[in-house]
Every structure is written in structure tokens, then in C-alpha cells.
Amino acid sequence: MTAVILDGKQVAAEIRADLAKEVADFVAGGAPPPCLTAVLVGEDPASQVYVRNKARACEKAGIDGRTHRLPADAGQDELMALIAELNTDTNVNGILVQLPLPTGSGVDYDEREILDAIDPLKDVDAFSPVNVGLLMQGRPRFLPCTPHGIVQLLGRSNLSVAGKKVCVVGRSDIVGKPMAMMLAQKNGSCGPDVANATVTIAHSRTENLAEVCREADCLIAAVGRPEMITGDMIKPGAIVIDVGINRVGDKLVGDVAFDQAKEIAAAITPVPGGVGPLTIAMLLHNTLAAAKLQSGR
């Protein structure tokens, strides 16, 4: 069997084109362009690239993408003051703090305190406790961008996991946990095709990981370890979603050994070009949703 390759780039382009039209309609109705403000602390090269890519994507969608830069040693108080200012600035609809915050400059940041300080109505990453809680309860305000992108990719590829066994490997607050929660929802609040899965969350303490993975009709790897999911861990005919982005030499590789997996799975995402492009598309989606919410408040 050779798997269907799920083209995240193509799906993201479709979403972004639809979104650009929605933004244009919103603005034509008299609203200012939605505004997403990224906060970048320090000079981490990867973070700079991410923020630049987000700003470019905003521009293409008609969204006002801004970046606030602070030096690595700005400190917790200065960063908290900036968040407070952005919270009250009515021109700003979405706030995102680029993670990870810097370490090693002699200044430590309390990431949790900073993320908690973002106004939940401007929390386009959906990291705040209020938005996480709403998602848990099946009435999300914003869906976290990477899991939401995966849901969109599944839905637009006509792949339903309802009633199926899904294994999510990884339990981070950003990917693994919200992904599992979205797929297990009863009410379809995260998309009609993603409710009602039977979800297992695996992690570094899972016993017999290969066996647990092999039971899954849909395997989602969000670990951060290059090619750790090998062919023998995949059920024949499974859907395989690879969230991992790992730099190995000058190449980017996923958490799944792609060449092995594509011979066993029915459908698989590549790295790069799979989940990655969808994350930014869903961030833009949340920014427009935030602008709409705030214009009605």
C-alpha cells in the first residue's frame, strides 16, 4: 500500500484564500482590518522566522500584522506591562507571545503568568485557562491553531475519525492535550467529523508504546523526536498525522519515519508541507474571529 499524501500546503492555501474574502467582507462592512500583534522577546533565529512568516501571512489575508520586539533581558515586568497595554488597545484584536521565551540572558520569564495575562478575547493561540476550559466543556471560543489545522486537514480530506481509535503521542498544552480533547468531543463543537473518537494519549511514560500506537486507526505524533514512529508502530491502513518539526543537519524531519510509514498507512502528512502551513492559517482564522467578537462586545 502507498499512502495518500495529505497536502497541508494546498489545504492551507484554500483556507487562506477563503479567509482573505471573509476579511474583505468584514472590512467592507465598515470595520477596520483585524489586527494581530506578535510579541517577540530576544533574537532567537527560529522565532524571528516564525514571526516574519506570520506577518507575511497576515498581509496576504488583509490582516494588520504587527510585531513588538523586546530585548532578551527586558524582564517579566516590562513584558507584563506590554501585555496590559495591548489588552486595552482597542486597535489590537489578537495578541500572541512567541514561545519559547529566552533563557540564558540572566533574566527568567514566568511563561504561565504572561500567557494568563492575555485578555481571553484576544487570546488567538487559545492558551488562556478560560479558553482551555471552554474547549474542555465543548463550547470553544477559539480552537488552538495546530490541532485546529489538523481537524481542518482531516475534514477537507474527507477523513472521519468518529467512532475510531485515535492515539495522540504527546501531551503538551499546545498540541497533544487539546488535540485529544477536540477529537473526543461529543457535540461536534470542533467540527462534525472530529467528534466521538476513542482517544488514547501516549507520552514518555507509556508502556509498550509501539503496541499502543499499532492499535490506532489514526495516529497523531506530536513528540519532537526525529522519526521515532517507525513502520512497525503503525496499523496497516491507518491515518498518520505528523506534527513534529525536527532539524536534522540541514533537513527538517517529522516524528514519523515517513518512508516506512507511507508504505503502511492509508494517508499521511509529510514534513515539511503537512501540518505546519495549517497552523498559521488557523491563527489568521482566530484573528478574524477575535475581531468579530470584539466588534460585537
Ligand X SMILES: NC(=O)c1ccc[n+]([C@@H]2O[C@H](COP(=O)([O-])OP(=O)(O)OC[C@H]3O[C@@H](n4cnc5c(N)ncnc54)[C@H](OP(=O)(O)O)[C@@H]3O)[C@@H](O)[C@H]2O)c1
Can you say whether the dihedral through the CA atoms of 96, 53, 289, 88 is positive or negative? positive
Q: Segment contacting ligand X (CB under 6 A): 14-22, 123-131, 192-200, 217-225?
A: 217-225
| 112-127 burial: b if 16+ Cβ within 10 Å, else e | eebbebbbbbbbbbbb
Which of the residues 149 through 208 are near ligand X (CB under 6 A)?
A: 169-172, 174-176, 202-206
Nearest to 8 by CA among 252, 272, 244: 272
Residue 111 grid coordinates:
511563561
Task: Tell me if 170 is assigned to a ligand binding site.
Answer: yes
CA angle 166, 212, 185 (to 5 degrees): 25
Q: Is 209 in the site for ligand X (CB under 6 A)?
A: yes
- The DSSP element (H or E) to which 273 belongs, if any, is none
Smallest distance from ligand X to CB 201, Å: 8
Is 54 considered catalytic here?
yes
Catalytic residue among 64, 119, 123, 125: 125
Q: 77 or 250, CB closer to ligand X?
A: 250
Is 98 considered catalytic here?
yes
Pairing state between β 251-253 and 246-248: antiparallel
Catalytic residue among 64, 98, 152, 242: 98
Residue 46: CB atoms within 10 A of its CB come to: 11
Catalytic residue among 54, 177, 235, 262: 54
Smallest distance from ligand X to CB 188, Å: 24
Task: Tell me if 128 is assigned to a ligand binding site.
Answer: no
Q: Say which amino acid occupies 74.
A: A
Is 235 considered catalytic here?
no
Q: 82 or 253, CB closer to ligand X?
A: 253
> Does 71 sit behind a cis peptide bond, omega within 30 degrees of 0 on the bond before it?
no
Q: 96 or 223, CB closer to ligand X?
A: 223
**Residue partners of 53: CB distance under 8 A and separation at least 6:** 280
Q: Which residue has the cell 499521511?
A: 268
Nearest to 155 by CA among 190, 187, 198: 190
Residue number of the CB closest to ligand X reads 172
Which residue among 224, 266, 294, 295 contacts ligand X (CB under 6 A)?
Answer: 224
Task: Tell me if 220 is assigned to a ligand binding site.
Answer: no
The span from the CA of 134 to the CA of 148, in Å, is 15
- CB 257, CB 229: distance < 8 Å: yes
Which of the residues 240 through 279 are near ligand X (CB under 6 A)?
A: 243-246, 275-276, 279
Q: Say which amino acid occupies 100.
A: P
Q: 238 or 282, CB closer to ligand X?
A: 282
Can you say whether the dihedral through the CA atoms of 4, 53, 80, 100 is positive or negative? positive
Q: Segment contacting ligand X (CB under 6 A): 67-75, 106-114, 185-193, 237-245?
A: 237-245
Q: Segment contacting ligand X (CB under 6 A): 71-79, 124-132, 221-229, 285-293?
A: 221-229
Q: Segment contacting ligand X (CB under 6 A): 16-24, 113-121, 238-246, 281-289?
A: 238-246
Which residues sit in the known binding site?
Answer: 170-172, 245
Residues that bind ligand X (CB under 6 A): 146, 169-172, 174-176, 202-206, 209, 222-225, 243-246, 275-276, 279
Which residues sit in the known binding site for NADP(+)?
Answer: 170-172, 245
Give the residue numbers marked as catalytic. 54, 98, 125
